[in-house]
Amino acid sequence: MMNREGRPTTPASGGAAAADQITTFTGNRGLEINEPLLFEIGGPEKCGVDIDLPDQPLNRLGGLARKNAIGLAGLSEPEAMRHYVRLSRRNYAIDLGIYPLGSCTMKHNPRLNERMARLPGFGDIHPLQPESTVQGALELIDTLAHWLKTMTGMPAVALSPKAGAHGELCGMMAIRAALDARGEKRSVVLVPESAHGTNPATATYLGYSVQSVPARADGTVDPEEVKRRLSPEVAAIMLTNPNTCGLFERDVIAIADAVHEAGAFFYCDGANFNAIVGKARPGDLGVDAMHINLHKTFSTPHGGGGPGAGPVVLSAALAPFAPLPFVVHGENGFRLVETESDPSAGQAFGRMTAFHGQMGMFVRALSYMMSHGSDGLRRASEDAVLNANYVKAGLEDLMSLPFGKRPTMHEVLFDDSFLKGTGVTTLDFAKAMIDEGFHPMTVYFPLVVHGAMLIEPTESESRASLDQFIATLRKLVEAAKSGDTARFTGAPYLTPVGRLDETRAARQPVLRWRKPLPQLDAAE
- How many other CB atoms sit within 10 Å of the CB of residue 398? 16
Residues 476/436, Cβ–Cβ less than 8 Å:
yes
Beta strands in 316-418 (DSSP E): 326-330, 333-337, 412-414
| Strand 209-213 to 188-192 pairing | parallel
Around Cβ 83, how many Cβ atoms within 10 Å?
18
Provide the angle, in degrees to the nearest 10, between the axes of the packed helices 359-395 and 135-152: 30
Contacts of 403 (CB under 8 A, 6+ apart): 217, 218, 219, 245, 247, 413
Cis peptide before 343 (omega within 30 of 0): no
Residue 476 gets which letter from DSSP?
H
* pLDDT at 122 (0 to 100): 93
pLDDT at site 305: 52
Distance CA 303, CA 94 (A): 10
pTM metric for this prediction: 0.90
Q: What is the model's pLDDT at position 303?
A: 62
In whole angstroms, what is the distance from residue 416 CA to residue 418 CA? Answer: 5
Weakly modelled stretches of the chain, pLDDT under 50: 520-524
| pLDDT recorded at residue 521 | 47
What pLDDT, on the 0 to 100 scale, is given for residue 11? 74
H or E element: which one contains 454?
strand 453-455
Number of Cβ within a 10 Å radius of residue 146: 12
Helix (H) or strand (E) holding 188: strand 188-192
CA pair distance 95, 474, nearest whole angstrom: 24
Cis amide bond preceding 492, omega within 30: yes
> Alpha helix (H) ranges present in 99-134?
111-117, 120-123
Question: How many Å apart are CA 299 and CA 377, to the nearest integer?
Answer: 11
Question: What is the model's pLDDT at position 43?
Answer: 83
* 236 SS3 class: strand
**Cα gap 440→432, rounded to integer Å:** 9
Q: How far apart are CA 57 and CA 103, in angstroms?
A: 54
Class of residue 74 by CB neighbours under 10 A (exposed 0-12, middle 13-18, buried 19+): middle
DSSP reduced 3-state for 413: strand
Amino acid (1-letter code) at residue 188: V
Return the number of other C-beta atoms located less than 10 Å from residue 51's C-beta: 6
CB 367 within 8 A of CB 110: yes
